[in-house]
Amino acid sequence: MPSLVAVVVAHDSADALPACLAALAAEHVPAIVVDNASRDCSVRIAEAAGAEVLRNARNEGYGRANTIGVRAAARARHVLILNPDVILKAGAADALLAAARAYSDAGLFAPRLVEPDGRVFYQPRSLLAPYLTNPGGIRSLPEGDACAPFLSGACLMVERELFLGLGGFDPNIFLFYEDDDLCRRIAETGRALIHVQAAEAVHGRGRSSAPEPGRVFRTRWHQAWSRAYVSRKYGLADPSPRMLAVNAPKAAFAALGLKRRLIERYAGSAAGALAAMRGQSALEREGLTPGLP
């Protein structure tokens, strides 16, 4: 039985996959690639790298596709969920597994994420953190292993049984805040979220999928919608009215200046907030049905 299996969700990820899968192979971590209806050669690259490939007929979204992959990793004790633009550094997998042994009562583990320019990504708070709150967002980088209020879904390790026992990622979320939601649910079981200092991974930030027309609008739509969804889920104030009030005028001014990227950004946020206020679901927007395929 492998102690660790990686799950990588791909969507037009041909540029990012080779380095990601090569790093996993160097760490002797078998990989399952869940392809979200890529239109490029992502599937061929994954197969050539020796990964097991699951093909979704359509884009199921990040969290839903990861849950499909974790279900398929039937023989693994732990699963490593990572974006295709994440590259594990030497020894990272062993360091994560060592942390799981050292902190047996913890529930979620993540490596030190380093961006290509050398900056360390560490989010010191979460909208949904029920403990270790940091209202001011004071950023103080850990100097060793540390309990954290949030671990990025870009790369995290969890016991497969725990993940599936909690229902996996929330299947109602297509994109964004599925990691915050998972962190919240794991914390509510009484288990800690652990930043593992000795494990390092390089994160390309936004390089998982090839650029496409309308991507900015779609991204901002889901960011706004998902924030509203998780806020309501946990009894927080609905941010939708404020997001709509702030972003709709910005979209109008951007339109006057014919600034297409800004139009997409602000109009996407306004549209996502409005959809949440009207009760539209993210799955409805993407033509998906509730539940996993």
| Cα angle value 54/59/62 (rounded, 5°) | 80
Determine whether 194 is exposed, middle or buried from the number of CB atoms within 10 Å of its CB (0-12, 13-18, 19+).
Answer: buried
Could you tell me which residue, 208 or 183, shows the higher pLDDT?
Answer: 183
How do residues 239-289 score in pLDDT, each as one tens digit? 999 999 999 999 999 999 888 889 999 999 999 999 999 999 999 999 999
Q: Where are the alpha helices (DSSP H) in the chain?
A: 17-26, 42-48, 62-72, 92-102, 160-165, 178-188, 215-233, 240-256, 260-278, 282-285
Mean pLDDT of all residues in 150-164: 97
Q: What is the structure's pLDDT at 273?
A: 98
Q: Dihedral of the CA atoms 190, 193, 197, 202 (nearest 10)?
A: 160
Neighbours of 205 (CB within 10 A): 16
Q: Would the pTM of this model clear 0.75, i.e. be above it?
A: yes
158: three-class secondary structure by DSSP: strand
Bridge partners of 128, per DSSP, are none
User: What are the boundaries of each domain within the chain?
Assistant: 4-203, 215-285
Percent of the chain at pLDDT > 90 equals 86
The superfamily in CATH containing domain 4-203 is: Spore Coat Polysaccharide Biosynthesis Protein SpsA; Chain A (3.90.550.10)
What is the C-alpha separation between 197 and 219, in angstroms, rounded?
A: 31
What's the whole-number average pLDDT of the chain?
A: 94
Nearby residues of 240 by Cβ (< 8 Å), 6 or more positions away: 224, 228, 273, 274, 276, 277
How do residues 7-57 score in pLDDT, each as one tens digit? 999 999 999 999 999 999 999 999 999 999 999 999 999 999 999 999 999
What is the C-alpha separation between 113 and 154, in angstroms, rounded?
A: 9
How do residues 77-114 score in pLDDT, each as one tens digit? 999 999 999 999 999 999 999 999 999 999 999 999 99
Q: What is the structure's pLDDT at 207?
A: 63
